[in-house]
A and B are shown apart, each in its own frame.
Chain A
Amino acid sequence: QVQLQQWGAGLLKPSETLSLTCAVYGGSLNHYYWNWVRQPPGKGLEWIGEIDHLGRTVYNPSLRSRLRISIDTSKNQFSLSLNSVTAADTAVYFCARPVDCSATICTGPFEVWGRGTLVTVSS
């Protein structure tokens, strides 16, 4: 049973950099694109981006200029970095893994989720 455990700073000031990490337990990083999704308080879900075990990334165009997703296969972890944050970046951030598939690398619908980290941006 794969589990995702995430952590990172929960309170930031405007212009600072948001940093979160998600550790994968009970499974390998291979075979999947690993994702970040966020949800502003009381609002819907927004996909942030994804990375595979080779470090190939796909980003939401709306965030691309401020976004970096990285992976550390030695620690079975992947990370999110979002710079120049504003109050609009206040949200619960989730890491997520796609449902298993028959392809070489799975992407698409998200079956396994972290518990979420509330990140608040406030001066």
Chain B
Amino acid sequence: EVVMTQSPGTLYVSPGERATLSCRASQSVIGNLAWYQQKPGQAPRLLIYGASVRAAGVPERFSGSGSGRDFTLTISGLQAEDFAVYYCQQYNNWPPYTFGQGTRLQIK
């Protein structure tokens, strides 16, 4: 099973600034990496797949990068609605698909 590790656990950033979230896989997942945003009481929302492809309707301020084991989600110009929990997911080696434990993005 591929273990996904996200850092930091909680990130404090001010509105308007940039947030950088990290995700590391225990083995290479090539570029088969997705990022999700989840708000309380809601289902996750797909933001990025293929490590860097924005899903339909996702604002340009969300960008993904990386390959192999190390990946980054960058959110530029943070808006109030961006404060949420973010998960990475690998879909290169399954079963099972595996998720990171999440990074909570909070207002500074």
Contacts and interface: CB of A to CB of B under 8 A. Distances in A.
Nearest to B49: A109
Contacts of A96: 43
Interface in A26-62: 44-47, 49, 58-62
B99 A47 contact: yes
A72 to B, nearest CB: 23
A111 B55 CA distance: 8
A114 interface: yes
B7 interface: no
Interface in A80-123: 94, 96, 99, 107-111, 113-116
Contact of A44 (B43, B87, B91): B87
B97 interface: yes
Nearest to A114: B43
A108 B49 contact: yes
Contact of B55 (A45, A49, A99, A116): A99
A99 B97 CA distance: 15
By size class, the interface of chain B is: 20 to 34
B96 interface: yes
A109 B102 contact: no
A109 B87 contact: no
A60 B32 contact: no
A111 B36 CA distance: 9
Given A46-B99, A47-B99, A99-B55, A108 B91 contact: yes
A3 to B, nearest CB: 12
B34 A109 contact: yes
B34 A108 contact: yes
A8 B87 CA distance: 26
A110 B95 CA distance: 15
Nearest to B94: A58
Interface of A: 44-47, 49, 58-62, 94, 96, 99, 107-111, 113-116
